[in-house]
């Protein structure tokens, strides 16, 4: 007897609670977008939603067999990727469907590869980009030396703060600036 009395009472209570919480469409009006406190706002160090984990990809796909050297050949990376502090990074005939950023490596080689977004190489000792396609801006900044040759860049080509940058035969849709001004 108690079950039969409690069940309808519980259903009525839940229905009443749901009806009281839902606002009528004509009463709701425009909704305000909540503000995010600065302490909770995304920062430059936060990982983008579509950003791939470089360490995991290197462990699974690298042809080097060395944990500090990542050699990706004939690999497709869905989304964007950041290599930060890997000693050697080589992308050979590799496709990145987003952006690629390589930071602080001793040696970087990107050859016969396609990067749909920006390709940024920052503070690498030696950076080489040859016969590759970059869908946006190619940046080589803060390295000891760089070589940028025979690339197709669908944005700007920027080089600054490097010891030296050499190269030729780049097709640049945007502007070639600073140390790469003569390379575009």
Would you say residue 25 lies in a domain? no
Full domain range(s) for residue 61: 51-183
Q: What is the pLDDT of residue 35?
A: 35
Would you say residue 126 lies in a domain? yes
DSSP string, 117-180: S-EEEES-SEEEEES-EESS-EEEES-SEEEEES-EESS-EEEES-SEEE----EESS-EEETT
Q: What is the pLDDT of residue 87?
A: 95
How far is it, in rounded angstroms, from Cα 153 to Cα 107? 21
Would you say residue 58 lies in a domain? yes
pLDDT in tens, 81-139: 999 989 999 999 999 999 999 999 999 999 999 999 999 999 999 999 999 999 999 99
Least confident piece of the model among 3-7, 62-66, 102-106, 141-145:
3-7
Would you say residue 17 lies in a domain? no
- In the predicted structure, residue 6 carries a pLDDT above the cut 70: no
Contacts of 73 (CB under 8 A, 6+ apart): 63, 92, 93, 94
38/126: higher pLDDT: 126
Q: What is the pLDDT of residue 11?
A: 52
Dihedral, CA of residue 161, residue 163, residue 139 and residue 122, to nearest 10: -80
Would you say residue 69 lies in a domain? yes
- Give the pLDDT mean for 165-180: 97
Q: Which residue, chain included where needed, has tokens 């919480």?
A: 21
- Tally of domains in the chain: 1
Would you say residue 12 lies in a domain? no
- In the predicted structure, residue 70 carries a pLDDT above the cut 80: yes
Where residue 50 falls among pLDDT bands split at 50, 70, 90?
low
Q: What is the pLDDT of residue 40?
A: 33
The whole-chain average pLDDT of the chain stands at: 81
Q: pTM of the entire structure? A: 0.72
Would you say residue 57 lies in a domain? yes
How far is it, in rounded angstroms, from Cα 95 to Cα 69? 19
Would you say residue 9 lies in a domain? no
């Amino acid at each position: 007897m108690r079950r039969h009395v409690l069940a309808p009472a519980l259903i009525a209570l839940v229905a009443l609670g749901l009806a009281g919480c839902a606002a009528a469409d004509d009463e709701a009006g425009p909704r305000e977008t909540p503000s995010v406190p600065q302490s909770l706002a995304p920062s430059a160090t936060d990982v983008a939603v579509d950003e791939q984990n470089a360490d995991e990809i290197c462990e699974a796909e690298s042809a080097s067999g060395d944990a500090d050297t990542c050699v990706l050949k004939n690999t497709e990376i869905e989304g964007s990727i950041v290599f930060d502090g890997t000693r050697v990074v080589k992308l050979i005939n590799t496709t990145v469907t987003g952006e690629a950023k390589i930071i602080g490596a001793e040696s970087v080689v990107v050859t016969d590869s396609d990067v749909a977004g920006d390709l940024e190489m920052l503070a690498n000792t030696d950076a080489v980009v040859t016969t590759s396609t970059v869908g946006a801006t190619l940046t080589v900044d803060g390295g000891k030396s760089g070589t940028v040759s025979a690339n197709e860049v669908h944005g700007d080509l920027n080089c600054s703060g490097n010891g030296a940058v050499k190269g030729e035969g780049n097709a640049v849709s945007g502007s070639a600036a600073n140390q790469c001004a003569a390379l575009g």
